Amino acid sequence: MAEEKKGNFLTFFMDYGWYKKYLLPGFIAQSVLIAGGYGTGRELVEYFVQYGPTGGLWGMGLTTVLWIALFALSFEFARAFKAYDYRSFFQKLIGPAWVVYEIAFIVLLFLIMGVVGAASGSVLKDTLGVPKLVGSGLFLVCVAYLTYSGSKAIEVALSWWSYLLYAVYIVFLYIGLTQFGDAISANFAAHIVKPGWQMGGFKYAFYNIAVTTTVLFSLNYLETRREAIISGISAAIICIAPAFFFYVVTAGFYPDVLSMEIPANAIIGKMGSKLLLAVWLIVLFGTMIETGVGFFHSINERISSALVAKGRPGLSNTARGAVGALLALVGLGISNFGLIGLIARGYGTISWVFFILQGVALFTIGLYKLSKLDKAA
């Protein structure tokens, strides 16, 4: 009886239809995005801050607008065609050319997992002083367990970790404004806008847009076009909000922040809060696990849907866990053998593939197929 009450408590918010439709996809997307998107802060410096505090803010605004459009249209396309894994989604969108997307997605996955695998060991070493092997091992076990547990467990885990992450970012913003408010105000008042902010916002939007693929499994709750559009808008805002919180504080350290290798650690260090730094790193470690789980679950859903389409049973939980563990091991292997740089050299090309297949294709072929579906209804 106690276990039943506990289960009800943990899934309390998850039982509301509005939560599953309007917030759950956004929290999952944000959980997968952050480790490779802005967890260290370096990504925000590269794509926004370098164009000046105000210029970067404009670039972030452009990213937000692009994400709103892309998330909303992606969610509606998935709902309309009942495509809840990337194989089904891109088969419906671009036919046989979906294989091109899969290749780009897998290369991106190994690139990100190589980076995350390398960082997962060092984060706990820096925080708790444990050997890197222990951190990497814990990363592997957690990823395998969550992928084994299936969609429901992943929905709950990624949602609840997002609440903690938001709390940490809000505390970070509050302390930053309290301690460095004058510098932040002065830098924004200077109205520094450097050329290239448009391209920075554009690149960042498509650098991360593959995250929509990792939330497709959670979109089966959407029933109408209105719900899909609202859910997409909500997801874009949920994803960008923590980045905005961090950016505001970072602007107070311009231009010194441009040379900081890991801005998050450096800025929290200047705040003088060892507790916040420890909590930040632990939360960051959790987001690395979430990123791995999100990408690996997408692979599992793709494999399972292919098996079902052939009249065979979908992937068992054991098989899902094995796939997650295997992919995590490959990511750790890449981080150790220096293949990250080799893959990264082609990353610019991969970003353009995502732009063409998820941006251009959705707003041309996708809109056409949706209108055709409407006429047939």
In the block, residue with structure tokens 């961090």: 246
Q: What is the mean pLDDT of residues 258-265?
A: 85
Out of 109-113, 175-179, 260-264, least confident range: 109-113
Q: Does domain 19-376 have CATH number 3.40.190.10?
A: no
Using only C-alpha atoms, what is the Rg of the chain?
20
Angle made by CA atoms 308, 314, 319, in degrees to the nearest 5: 145
The CA distance from 89 to 161, in Å, is 27
Question: Does 274 have pLDDT greater than 60?
Answer: yes
| Relative orientation angle of helices 151-189 and 263-271, to the nearest 10 degrees | 70
pLDDT of residue 3: 41
Q: Which amino acid is at 174?
A: Y
Mean pLDDT for the chain? 85
Please state the pTM of the whole predicted model: 0.86
pLDDT tier, 4 (very low <50, low <70, confident <90, very high otherwise):
very low
Angle made by CA atoms 346, 350, 351, in degrees to the nearest 5: 120
Percent of the chain surpassing pLDDT 70: 88
Out of 16-25, 153-162, 270-279, least confident range: 153-162
Would you list the domain boundaries of the chain?
A: 19-376
pLDDT of residue 339: 46
Q: What is the mean pLDDT of residues 6-35?
A: 74
Percent of the chain surpassing pLDDT 90: 41
Question: Does 285 have pLDDT greater than 70?
Answer: yes
Q: What is the mean pLDDT of residues 347-362?
A: 82
Q: Kindly report, residue by residue over 299-348, the tens digit of the pLDDT.
A: 888 888 888 888 888 888 898 888 888 888 877 777 666 544 544 555 55
Helices (H), 208-316: 225-251, 263-271, 274-309
Q: Which amino acid is at 362?
A: L
pLDDT of residue 36: 64
